[in-house]
Amino acid sequence: MVLISIFLSTMTTDSSTNPLASILLLFFTSLVVLFLIPIIFRRRNWRNAPPGPRGWPILGYLPYLTKGNIHGILFNLSKTYGPFYSLPLGQKPGIVITSPEVAQEILKHKEASFSSRTITEAVRTITYDATSCVFVPHSERWRLLRKIFNTELFSSRAIQLLQPARREQVHILLKSLYDSSKSKTMVNISESLLVATTNLTSTLVCSKSLFGNIEVRKLLSGVFAEVFTPNLADFIPFMKMLDLQGIKRRLTKVAKEMDRAFDELIDERLEEKKKGIKINENGRLDLLDVFLDYKIEGNDKSFKQFSRVDIKGMFVDMFLAGSDTSASTVEWGMAEILKKPEVHKKILVELDQVVGKNRFIEEDDLPKLIYFQAAVKEIFRLHPPVPLLLPRRSNEACEVYGYHVPKHALVFVNIWGIARDPKVWPEPLEFKPERFLESKIDIKGQDFELLPFGAGRRSCVGLPLGLRMVQLFLAALLHSFEWDCRADTLEDMTEKDGVTLHKAKVLMAIPKSRLLDSVYQ
């Protein structure tokens, strides 16, 4: 703006007698030429690119992604350019997939070419340079981390050993809501769920409920907000040093505070180990135990155990992936079910038949709730926690359906858009659990019409626990209480802008107990 003001003021004099005016005139003429020539002469985003909008020079299609939800904008583009199209994102090439067939081609048949993650500046700042399981490049290190998570933290045995902790957090939530019901207090369901799911995640991480601490809650809430905000610096390399949106600056400050808190947790556990104190007597290991004690076997003498930085990176992974997304999914589920009295009634009848009204629901009850399980699938279909999944990146240049995909292209699989495609789902905008009663389609990554946890090598490693958390918390809230919802928060299903899927208006309601009073004591 300063340059433009100077330019306009100097144009009032003869440029031949004003050298500054001549220089500025040349500068702006060159700028206009540089912007216009690529628009006039460019026919594709790159040679043999899939069809797609061309966008602006330097900025690409980014200016058009600033208003509204990105997944919705990209879905609308697929109606013009098809289910596989190219998209220039600043200085980076991108491709967007909006069909099960193309998703299967990318995530299964050509997975070796698309098995790395896109690392944003925010992720790099908060996850200790992206060395953790979710973001580390596909490599021997990634395979080792994946193996440890699968065998030590998310195996059937490990999840079973964590069951008492899940039961405890559910009961704490239900008893808190019972107190609210007695005083007829309006409850912020989103906030209540976030506290419960994050405490459960922290129990898995370090065997403590951290989210009761107000300072920790502030820290994690700040991380959620910043990490999932689109950042120009991720698409236009020279903007990294400018940090125009201030995301890196703010996250660096939060990261220092989190780092200090994580160091205290690690120091405390090391001191307990030195004194021979066992945190978990039932044989369950938390993430901190697993990575502090893990000794790596093999020929690589330079890497025999995990460093403190490695462990802190895993902490961040778990909190980002395990709490916020589960809480938002349960909130969407509550809203969808309460809006449909006939669906709500069927679920309550089933819950009362299986569980009754003289106890809280237990995890062993969940497999018997056939209609409820169908409703959970329908929630994940319409409201996937991460609508574009975590973006992948092409490891190498390759061909897909005869089109060229450059090396390091950003890959977006729009599972939100797939769920709204009438060619894939009849009446796609309707919340209909019945569609899954006779269907074999599942959410575990084998059916590409429904991929809330992703598919293939980079699918969500915490799927078994994440699914269990959503099912248990949602069933408990519906079974234990009737809900008098504030009308505007129930009817308004607008999505909040961002990478993860949240209700713009959080669900507010007054709970009313529907079980025997003695159950809540």
Q: Name, in order, each residue with C-beta under 8 angstroms of 403's C-beta and a sequence gap of 6 or more.
A: 48, 49, 50, 84, 86
- CB distance 292 to 205 below 8 Å: no
> How far is Cα 141 from Cα 303, in angstroms, rounded to an integer?
10
| Cα dihedral 488, 491, 492, 495 sign | positive
Element (H, E) at 392: strand 392-393
Strand, helix or coil at 459?
coil
Query: Of 520, 521, 504, which Cα lies nearest the Cα of 512?
Result: 520
Residue 445 burial (CB count, 10 A): 18
| Beta pairing partners, 503 | 495
> How far is Cα 123 from Cα 130, in angstroms, rounded to an integer?
7
- CB distance 501 to 495 below 8 Å: yes
Element (H, E) at 89: strand 84-89
- CB distance 416 to 387 below 8 Å: yes
> How far is Cα 508 from Cα 187, in angstroms, rounded to an integer?
6
> How far is Cα 426 from Cα 127, in angstroms, rounded to an integer?
41
- Count Cα atoms within 13 angstroms, Cβ side, for 415: 29
Does 460 count as an annotated binding residue? yes
The first and second tokens of residue 85, run together, are 């199209």
DSSP letters, 50-67, are PS----BTTTBTGGGGSS
- CB distance 507 to 331 below 8 Å: yes
Q: Which long-range contacts (CB under 8 A, 24 or more apart) does 248-253 make?
A: 248/121, 248/122, 248/125, 250/222, 250/226, 251/122, 251/125, 251/126, 251/223, 251/226, 251/227, 252/125
Q: What is the dihedral of CA 459, 464, 468, 470, to 10 degrees?
A: -10
- CB distance 206 to 269 below 8 Å: yes
> How far is Cα 382 from Cα 376, in angstroms, rounded to an integer?
10
Known binding residues for heme: 460
